[in-house]
Amino acid sequence: MIIGISGENCAGKTTCAQYLIKKGFHCLSLSDILRELLKEENVPITRENLIKKGNEVRAKRGWGALADIALKKIPSHSNYVVDSIRNPAEVDRLRESGRFFLFYITADPKIRFERMRKRGREADPNSYELFLKFDRMEMEGKEGEQNLLAVKEKADVVIENNASLDEFYDAIDGALSKVSKEFRMRRPSWDEYFMQIAHVVAGRSNCIKRKVAAIIVKDRRIISTGYNGTPKGTKNCSEGGCPRCNSFSESGKDLEQCLCSHGEENAIVQAALHGIAIKGATLYTTFSPCLLCAKMIINSGIREVVYEGQYPLEEKARQLLEEAGVQIRKLERG
């Protein structure tokens, strides 16, 4: 794909291009093409001379001439940024490639003027009035000249850059996701996010039959975690600590012989141990609760249970939870 970048002076075009380069794009600037032409003619490189040279090239070679030059330099197998697009004919010509999208970067004039002053280029306008004069030259040019207003109308995405750099980067990421599935961000839902964390917690389990974990969440913050295994200070199940598990008893049978605590049980007990209130919280568990854990969930004040895997004795536990007014639902992954 080719991302074209246009916008007002000091709006953030170069910053946008540099950010895209970090994402694997190559960069080509139409202004650099003009700079090369000015160097060949030994003409000083100033903003005014760049504007004049650009208008001159368009008048002699066609309004999309700079885009033609750029397209000859861009291979078909790479993602490219084309910076400093200032004429609508250049946009039209680049669109003919079939893989072009235009980002227009804008910002408040006073913010842009302060950015220009900070960069300290000798050829930059030395007053706000002169800065606005050059702005008008670029924004309202005649046909075939620089005309940013006409370019802006052709933009796929307009990005405002009046705030922090991080917010600007976020806006660029959002623009990429709008124009290309390749850069579309897939964020997990809160349910997916917390369940994925529960699976990480399950990795600490010492039970040899099944690794299960639960996390307790309140206001989208994890306040307690627990995984299944033998009680604290006793021999781990994986070291022979639980005779039932180590004899590989049939699921759901001889539970009274099992020395392992369940993930939900441990999450609730850990919260109690550390004095953490869990009333009104949500419990995420990698397996649906057993009957014992369901009773603990009800009495602890947990309001919702989200589970993924199906526990063999799930139905009785579900009925009890529903009777007590605890919401219970299975996480369905898309």
- Would you call 140 a catalytic residue per the annotation? no
Indicate which residue of 145, 264, 265, 314 is catalytic: 264
Q: Are strands 26-29 and 80-83 parallel, antiparallel or unpaired?
A: parallel
Within 8 A by CB and 6+ apart from 321, the residues are 289, 294, 297, 298, 305, 328
Measured CA to CA, the distance from residue 197 to residue 19 in angstroms comes to: 31
Answer whether 34's CB lies under 8 Å from 54's CB: yes
Measured CA to CA, the distance from residue 18 to residue 25 in angstroms comes to: 9
Q: Are strands 221-227 and 213-218 parallel, antiparallel or unpaired?
A: antiparallel
Answer whether 116's CB lies under 8 Å from 18's CB: no
Beta bridge pairs of residue 20: none
Q: Which DSSP letter does residue 237 get?
A: G
Catalytic positions = 264
